[in-house]
Structure 1
Amino acid sequence: MSVLIAAIDVADAAAARNAVAQLPQSVWLKIGLELFTAEGPALVRELAAQGWPIFLDMKFHDIPNTVRGACRSAAKLGVRLLTIHVEGGVEMAQAAMQGAAEGAALAGLPAPRVLGITLLTSGQAGTQEETEALVVARALQAKASGIDGVVCSGLEAAAVKAACGPDFLCLCPGIRFAGSGATQDQKRVCTPGEAVAAGADYLVMGRPLFGAENPQAAAMRALAEMQISVLP
C-alpha cells in the first residue's frame, strides 16, 4: 500500500505544529532542510514521540565517513526514511546504509530506509525520454549499492520498478491534483492516482495540501485518489 507524506516545509516549530494539527493521523511527515536547519533534531524527536512517522529529507552528499555519521545520527532520532544523493557513488551509499543500521541499533529502533535522489523533480535532463533513461540508470546504480530505493517523479516510477524490481522503493515528489494548474517550481508532476498506478510507494505533497482552504480535506482527497480509506 502506498503512503502519503505531507511536506512540512515551514520556517519554525510553531508553524510546523500548526501544519501538523491540520492533518489526518494516517499520513507521514517530511522534514527537510529549512525546518531542520531552524529547529534541529528536537522537533523531529517531538513529532516522532507523538507517533508521526518521519521522512527526514536532508539529501546527504559528502565523503562516505561524513555521510555514515550523519545517517547514524538521523537513525537515532527514530526517522523512517532518509535521503542521500545517488551521485555520491556506491561507497557513499554503502556508508549511509551502515550508518543508518548503526544508529538504529544504538537507539534500539528499526533502521530507516535509505533512498537515493536520482534527479530533482524541479529539473529535467533533456526530453522526458532522456530524463527517464538517466533516472533509471541512477536507480540501477542505487540498487547495486544496496540502498532501499530512490526518489524520482511519478513519470519514471514504472520504468524504475521495471528495471529494479517491485520491491525497490520509489518515493515520488511533485504530486499535484488534476486541474490544479500551478506546478510551482516542479517540472515533472503527476496526480496521486497516476503515481500509485505507476508503482509509487511514497507520495510527497506539500503546497497542494497546505495551500488548500482545508488541508485535512485535501489530504483526505489525496488518500481517496490513492484508494486508501481512512478516518481523519
Structure 2
Amino acid sequence: DLLLLGVTVLTSMNEVQLRRIGVPSAPPAQVHNLAGAAVEAGLEGLVCSAKELDLLVPDYGEKLKFVTPGIRPAGSSADDQKRIVTPEKAAANGSNYIVVGRPIYKADSPVEVVRSINKALQQS
C-alpha cells in the first residue's frame, strides 16, 4: 500500500533552529499545526518525532499514520538528532512505523542491532 505523507519538523531541529528559519513556534506546536494542515490537505500520515505523538495521537490518531525518525536504541549516540526516543517509547507513544538509520548502518553487527530492536519491541 502507498501512503501520502507530510514531513513536519525534522528531528535534527530544535526551537532555536526553527526561529532561525522564521518559524516562531516551538517544535511541538509547529508539528501540531502542520498535522492539522495535513488532515485538511487529505494526507494519510506524517513524518514526525515520536516525542510529539502525545500531542498528535489524541487529535489525529484515527486520521493519520505516524512515521517516526530519530529512533535510537538505549545507549546509542544521538548524533545530530535533537528529539529522539527509543523504539519502545516510540511504539508506546503511538508510532506506526519507526525509522532507525545510523544505529543500524554504523554498527559492527547491523543484524544484531535489528534483532535487539525487534526483541525490545516484542517485550514492550
Instruction: Return the TM-score normalized by structure 2.
Output: 0.85
1:107-186 to 2 correspondence within 5 Å?
110=1, 112-125=2-15, 130-180=26-76, 182-186=77-81
- Which whole-Å deviations, capped at 9, do the CAs of 1:131-187 have from their partners, x for residues lacking one? 11110110111011111011111101221111213341110000001122x211111
> Considering only CA atoms, is the larger Rg found in Structure 1 or Structure 2?
1
Task: For 1:171 and 1:158, locate their aligned partners in 2 and report how far apart those are by CA, in whole Å.
Answer: 14
SS of aligned partner of 2:33: helix
* Large movers: runs of 4+ above 3 Å: none
Q: Which residue of 1 aligns with 2:108?
A: 213
SS of aligned partner of 2:4: strand
1:2-151 to 2 correspondence within 5 Å?
110=1, 112-125=2-15, 130-151=26-47
Q: Using CA pairs under 8 Å that are at least 6 residues apart, name the structure with larger relative contact order, 1 or 2.
A: 2
- The structure whose residues are more often strand, as a share, is 1
Give the number of equivalent residue pairs. Answer: 115
- Which whole-Å deviations, capped at 9, do the CAs of 1:9-43 have from their partners, x for residues lacking one? xxxxxxxxxxxxxxxxxxxxxxxxxxxxxxxxxxx
Deviation at 1:227, TM superposition (A): 1.5
- Segments of structure 1 that go 5 or more residues without pairing to the other structure are 1-109
- 8 Å contact from structure 1 (residues 172, 202) kept in 2: yes
Q: Which residue of 2 aligns with 1:187?
A: 82
Instruction: Return the TM-score normalized by structure 1.
Output: 0.47
Q: Which residue of 2 aligns with 1:222?
A: 117
- Segments of structure 2 that go 5 or more residues without pairing to the other structure are 17-24
Alignment RMSD (CA, Å)? 1.7
